[in-house]
Chain A
Amino acid sequence: MSYAELHCISNFTFLRGASHPEELIDRAAELNYAGLALTDECSLAGIVRAHVRAKRYQLKLLVGSEFRCLDGERLVVLAPCAASYAALCQLISAARRAAAKGDYRAHRQDLERHLGGSQCLLLWLPDGTEDLQTGAWLKERFAGRLWLAVELLADGRQRETYAHYRDMAKSLGISLVASGNVHMHCRERRMLQDTLTAIRHKTPVKELGLKLYPNAERALRPISELRRIYPPQLLQETLTILERCEFSLSELRYDYPSELVPSGETATSHLRLLTEQGAAWRWPRGVPDKVARLLEHELKLIEDLQYEPYFLTVYDIIKFARSKGILCQGRGSAANSAVCYCLGITEVDPARMNVLMERFISKERNEPPDIDVDFEHERREEVIQYIYEKYSRERAALAATVITYRPKSAVRDIGKALGIAPEHTDRLAKSLQWWDGGAVRIERLEEAGLDSASSELRRLLELVECLVGFPRHLSQHVGGFVISEHPLSRLVPIENAAMPERTVIQWDKNDLEELGLLKVDVLGLGMLSAIRRSFELIDGFYARKLSLADIPAEDPVVYDMISKADTIGVFQIESRAQMAMLPRLKPRNYYDLVIEVAIIRPGPIQGDMVHPYLRRRNGEEAVTYPSEEVQKVLERTLGVPIFQEQVMQLAIVAAGFTAGEADQLRRAMAAWRRRGDLQFFEQRLVQGMLKRGYTHEFAQRIFKQIQGFGEYGFPESHAASFALLVYVSAWIKCHEPAVFFCALLNSQPMGFYAPAQLVRAAREHAVEVKPIDVSRSEWDSSLEVAANSSPAIRLGLRLAKGLSKAGALRVLAARRVRIFDDVEDIAQRAALDAKDLGALAAAGALKAYAKNRFRARWEVAGIEKPRPLLRGTRIPEAVPMLKVPSEGQNIVADYRHVGFSLGRHPLALLREHLKAAGIRAAEDIKAMRNGVHVHAAGLVITRQRPSSASGVTFVTLEDETGYLNLVVWEQLAVNQRRELLGARLLGVKGHVQQESGVLHIIAERLFDHSDWLGELVTQSRDFR
Chain B
Amino acid sequence: MQMPQAAAHSPGLAPIPEAHEAPRDKQLWLAIQCSTPDLDSLAAWAKTITPLVSLDAPDGLLLEVRGSLKLFGGLTAIKQKLSTEIQARRLPFHACAAPTALGALWLSRHHGDDVFSAEKLASRLGDLPIQVTRWPESQLQLLSDMGIRNVRDCLRLPRDGFGRRLGQRYLRDLDYAFGKRIDLRPCFETPHQLIRKIEFAEETANLEVLRNVAGDIVEHFATQLRSYQQQAQSFGVFFHHHKCAPTYTELLLISPAHEKHRILEPLAARLERVDLPAPVTALEMRAEQLQAMEIQMNQLFQGVDAETDSFELQMLVERLRGRFGESGVYGLKLMPEHRPELVWVKLTDRLLHDSSETSPVSPWADERPLWMLPAPVPLDDGVMRFQYGGPLRFESEPERIESGWWDNRDIRRDYYSALTACGEKLWVYRDCLTRQWYLHGIFG
A contacts, CB < 8 Å to B: 154-159, 187, 190-191, 194, 205-206, 209-212, 214-217, 418, 455, 459, 838, 841-842, 853-854, 857-858, 861-862, 864, 875, 877-885, 889, 893, 1015
Cα–Cα, bound, A877→B157 (Å): 11
- Say yes or no: is B161 at the interface (Cβ < 8 Å to chain A): yes
Chain A: which residue is nearest B408 at the CB level?
A455
Can you name 18 A-B pairs with beta carbons within 8 Å? A154-B397, A154-B414, A155-B400, A156-B398, A190-B402, A191-B405, A209-B359, A210-B338, A215-B401, A215-B403, A216-B402, A455-B408, A459-B405, A841-B145, A842-B145, A862-B164, A877-B158, A881-B156
- Say yes or no: is B415 at the interface (Cβ < 8 Å to chain A): yes
Could you say which residues of chain B place their CB within 8 Å of the CB of A857?
142, 145-146
Q: Are the C-beta atoms of A853 and B145 separated by less than 8 Å?
A: yes
Q: Are the C-beta atoms of B399 and A156 separated by less than 8 Å?
A: yes
Interface centre among B153, B397, B415 (most CB of A within 10 A): B397
Cα–Cα, bound, A862→B156 (Å): 16
- Say yes or no: is B362 at the interface (Cβ < 8 Å to chain A): yes
Chain B 388-406 interface mask (CB, 8 Å, partner A; 1/0): 0000000011111111011
Could you say which residues of chain A place their CB within 8 Å of the CB of B23?
none
> How far in angstroms is the closest Cβ of chain A from B56?
25
> How far in angstroms is the closest Cβ of chain A from B369?
13
| Given known A-B contacts A205-B406, A842-B145, A882-B146, A214 and B158 have beta carbons under 8 A apart | no
Interface centre among A157, A418, A841 (most CB of B within 10 A): A157
Chain B: which residue is nearest A861 at the CB level?
B165
| Given known A-B contacts A156-B364, A214-B402, A215-B400, A838 and B338 have beta carbons under 8 A apart | no
| Given known A-B contacts A154-B398, A157-B397, A877-B160, A858 and B407 have beta carbons under 8 A apart | no
Top 9 A-B residue pairs of the complex, sorted by shortest distance between their CB atoms: A156-B399, A209-B336, A154-B400, A854-B147, A878-B158, A861-B165, A215-B402, A881-B156, A857-B145
Chain B contributes a number of interface residues (CB within 8 A of A) equal to 39
- Say yes or no: is B382 at the interface (Cβ < 8 Å to chain A): no
Cα–Cα, bound, A210→B362 (Å): 7
Given A215, A841, A880, which contacts B158 in the complex, CB threshold below 8 Å?
A: A880
Q: Are the C-beta atoms of B146 and A861 separated by less than 8 Å?
A: yes
Could you say which residues of chain B place their CB within 8 Å of the CB of A882?
146-148, 157
- Assuming A155-B399, A194-B403, A194-B406, what are 16 further A-B pairs, CB within 8 angstroms? A154-B398, A155-B400, A156-B398, A158-B397, A205-B406, A209-B359, A214-B338, A214-B400, A216-B402, A418-B406, A838-B142, A854-B146, A858-B146, A880-B161, A881-B157, A882-B148
Chain B 335-350 interface mask (CB, 8 Å, partner A; 1/0): 1111000000000000
| Given known A-B contacts A878-B158, A880-B161, A154 and B337 have beta carbons under 8 A apart | no
Q: Are the C-beta atoms of B397 and A889 separated by less than 8 Å?
A: no
Cα–Cα, bound, A217→B414 (Å): 12
Chain B: which residue is nearest A885 at the CB level?
B147
Could you say which residues of chain B place their CB within 8 Å of the CB of A158?
397
Could you say which residues of chain B place their CB within 8 Å of the CB of A154?
397-400, 414
Chain B 143-178 interface mask (CB, 8 Å, partner A; 1/0): 011111000010011101100111000000000000
B contacts, CB < 8 Å to A: 142, 144-148, 153, 156-158, 160-161, 164-166, 335-338, 359-362, 364, 367, 396-403, 405-408, 414-415
Could you say which residues of chain A place their CB within 8 Å of the CB of B360?
209-210
Chain B: which residue is nearest A855 at the CB level?
B146
> How far in angstroms is the closest Cβ of chain A from B304?
39
Could you say which residues of chain B place their CB within 8 Å of the CB of A889?
147
Cα–Cα, bound, A1015→B165 (Å): 23
Q: Are the C-beta atoms of A206 and B335 separated by less than 8 Å?
A: no
Chain A: which residue is nearest B142 at the CB level?
A861
Chain B: which residue is nearest A208 at the CB level?
B336
Could you say which residues of chain A place their CB within 8 Å of the CB of B146?
854, 857-858, 861, 880, 882
> How far in angstroms is the closest Cβ of chain B from A24?
20
Given B166, B337, B364, B367, which contacts A209 in the complex, CB threshold below 8 Å?
A: B337
Given A156, A215, A217, A878, which contacts B161 in the complex, CB threshold below 8 Å?
A: A878
Cα–Cα, bound, A355→B405 (Å): 62
Cα–Cα, bound, A660→B386 (Å): 73
Given B144, B157, B359, B396, which contacts A156 in the complex, CB threshold below 8 Å?
A: B396
Q: Are the C-beta atoms of A862 and B403 separated by less than 8 Å?
A: no
Cα–Cα, bound, A211→B359 (Å): 12
Cα–Cα, bound, A216→B405 (Å): 12
Could you say which residues of chain A place their CB within 8 Å of the CB of B160?
877
Given A194, A864, A881, A885, which contacts B405 in the complex, CB threshold below 8 Å?
A: A194
Could you say which residues of chain A place their CB within 8 Å of the CB of B361?
210
